Structure 1
Amino acid sequence: MSSNFDKFQKRRLISSYFSVVLSVFLVLFLLGILGLFIINSKKLADDFKEKIAMTVFFKNEANDTIIKAFDTEMRTVKFAKSFVYVSKEKAAKEHTDIIGEDFLTFLGENPLQNSFDIHLKADYVERDSIAKIETRLRKNAMVSDIVYDKQLVNLVNDNIKKVSMWILIISGFLTVIAVLLINSSLRLSIHSNRFIIKTMQMVGATKSFIRKPFVTRSIKLGMIGAGLAILALIGVLIYLETSFPDLGIMEDKLLIGLVLLGVFGLGVLITWLSTYFATQRFLNLRTDDLY
């Protein structure tokens, strides 16, 4: 009979440990995913911004010297991430490929203009900055027109601000839920040992002596859960890097390392604090209140 009871107690103990590790793992994994998304959200937003092209058209009077001078200028300015010169002959060929027929045959001449497609650095894809750049480029007497999607620029900047605000709100909300979930799992685990705690207290054991094994055990469980979460996050990072290499998810290894370190530290900190206050609660209870 005693053997069956011991087996039951052992199974219950293992089940309790498993639930704590699982809750720590799931919560920290979700927080880690959110952390990785936050550090990469600016990169993704900047990448999208830098794909918006500003096209500068030149008058037909602009000769090769003027074109080369503009090319040299673009190599020295701070706002240009990349640029490419598109001659009117090349533009005509691209239009022909798109529409499927040579429009020059019935027009008799090429109405297109030489142009530069400029991709700005993300920091300059703002209403004020891009307006100043446009004003500067229009001072060139050989520039006939400058075209870019103003509505898209405004839409991107407005949406990025909204998304950033919601990310901060969701991060705070998930952090609170994480602490509550892990705290609840640990409290349930310690609740099953409340009689042992009180018995040790009644025979003269100090609070710190009673608390130590519970805190140590919980920290170990937290470290296991955090370790599993880190392994899962590394797996996700490797998958994303392999499947979507253009995103450059693994480029900023320092920030990724800080996020993983933060996940591990958070696992240890939350389990330590939760166990400390949970054991303190049962240590302060009267014997009658245990029932």
Structure 2
Amino acid sequence: MSSSFDKFQKRRLISSYFSVVLSIFLVLFLLGTLGLFIINSNKLANDFKEKIAMTVFFKNEANDTILKQFGTEIKKAPYARSISYVSKEAAAKQHTDIIGEDFLTFLGENPLQNSYDIHIKAAYVEKDSVAKIEQDLRKNEMISDIVYDKQLVNMVNDNINKVSMWILIISGFLTFIAVLLINSSLRLSIYSNRFIIKTMQMVGATKSFIRKPFVMRSVKLGMLGAALAILALIGLLSYINANFPDLGILEDKILIVLVFAAVFGFGVFIPWISTHFATQRFLNLRTDDLY
């Protein structure tokens, strides 16, 4: 009889531990996935910004020395991500490939101009910054024109700001939900031991002595749930990187490690603080209120 009851209690305890670990694992996995999405969405946004090219056209009077000197100066500029020189012959060939017909045979001469395509660093792809760069470049008398998509620059920044705001709101909401879910699971676990807590208190055990084993157990369960969440996130990253290598999802290893550290930190801190207050609540209740 006693053996059956002990087995029942053991199964009940294991089930309680499993539900707590599962809750912590699922919540932390979702938070970690959101964190990885945030750091990679910023990277994708920056990559998109840096694909916007500013094309600088030169007058026909600009010789090779002037063109090479300009390229050297731009390479040293703090805003330049990359530059590429496009000669008017190369530009004519590109137009011919696009049109499918050699337009030079009709015109008799090449009307195109030598140019540089400048890809600006993401931090400088702002309306005011790009306008300042254009203004400085136009001081060069050998430059005939500067062309870039001004509307696209404005649209990209406006949309990125809106998306970033919503990501922050969703992140805050999910973090709040995560704390509530983990807290609820741990409070239920402590609730099932409320009589043990009160019995220990009645025989003279101090509050800190009673709290310690419950807090330590919750922290261990939280660490286990966090470790499982990190393993699942590693599996998710490996899967995405194997199937979509162009995303470069594993390039920012430091940020990925920081996300993992945050997940583990949540897995330790939330169970600790939740168990502390849940245990304290039952310690402060009268014996009659336990029922």
State the TM-score, normalized to the length of structure 2: 0.92
The answer to which of 105-114 and 146-155 deviates more is: 105-114
Hey, what does 1:48 align to over in structure 2? 48
Which amino acid in structure 2 is aligned with residue 38 of structure 1?
Answer: I
Matches within 5 A, 1:116-195: 116-195=116-195
Separation (CA, whole Å) in 2 of partners of 1:283 and 1:189: 15
- After TM superposition, give the deviation of residue 273 of structure 1 in Å: 0.9
SS at match of 1:146: strand
RMSD over aligned CA atoms reads: 1.9
Query: Does residue 1:83 correspond to 2:100, yes or no?
Result: no
Matched, 1:4 2:4: yes
2:245 aligned with 1:249? no
| Correspondence for 1:261 | 261
Q: Cα distance, 1:4 vs. partner? A: 3.0
Query: Which residue is equivalent to 1:230?
Result: 230
Displacement after TM superposition at 1:181 (Å): 0.4
- Structure-2 separation of matches of 1:281 and 1:249: 45
User: What's 1:21 paired with?
Assistant: 21
What is the aligned partner in structure 2 of residue 57 from structure 1? 57
Task: Give 2:12's aligned amino acid.
Answer: R
The answer for the alignment partner of 1:204 in structure 2 is 204
Q: Which moved more, 1:227-236 or 1:216-225?
A: 227-236
The secondary structure found in structure 2 opposite 1:210 is helix
C-alpha displacement of 1:111 = 2.4
Structure 2 unpaired stretches of 5+:
none
Cα distance, 1:117 vs structure 2: 0.8
- In the alignment, the residues of structure 1 paired with residue 184 and residue 288 of structure 2 have an alpha-carbon distance, to the nearest angstrom, of 23
**Distance in structure 1 (CA, Å) of the matches to 2:290 and 2:96:** 84
Deviation, 1:275, is 0.8
**Which structure 1 segments of 5+ residues have no match?**
none
Letter in 1 for 2:198: K
Q: Which amino acid aligns with 2:78?
A: K
Q: Which amino acid aligns with 1:198?
A: K
SS in 2 for 1:34: helix
| C-alpha distance in 1 between matches for 2:105 and 2:4 | 94
Q: How far apart, in 2, do the equivalents of 1:75 and 1:168 lie?
A: 36
Question: What's 1:115 paired with?
Answer: 115
Q: Distance in 2 between matches of 1:143 and 1:163?
A: 37
| TM-aligned CA deviation for residue 246 of structure 1 | 4.1
Tell me, what secondary structure is at the counterpart of 2:249?
Answer: coil
Q: Who is 2:283 aligned against?
A: 283
- Listed one character per residue, the Cα deviations across residues 167-194 of structure 1 (whole Å, up to 9, x for unaligned) are 2222221111111100000111111122
Amino acid at match of 1:101: E
Deviates more, 1:16-25 or 1:64-73: 64-73
Cα deviation digits, residues 127-156 of structure 1 (max 9, x gap):
111111111211222222111010110011
The 2-side partners of 1:197 and 1:3 are apart by 24
Quote the Cα distance in structure 2 between the aligned partners of 1:64 and 1:213: 78
Separation in 2 of the partners of 1:63 and 1:261? Answer: 56
Q: Which deviates more from structure 2 when the two are superposed, residues 139-148 or residues 269-278?
A: 139-148
Q: Aligned partners of 2:222 and 2:10: how far apart in 1?
A: 20
Between the aligned partners of 1:69 and 1:225, the Cα distance in structure 2 is 59
Given residue 213 of structure 1, which amino acid in structure 2 is its aligned partner?
P
2:32 equivalent in structure 1: 32
Q: Which of 141-150 and 96-105 deviates more?
A: 96-105
- Separation in 1 of the partners of 2:164 and 2:23? 28
Displacement after TM superposition at 1:75 (Å): 2.3
Moved more, 233-242 or 270-279: 233-242
CA apart distance, 1:66: 2.3
Deviation at 1:225, TM superposition (A): 0.3
2-structure distance, mates of 1:205, 1:78? 66
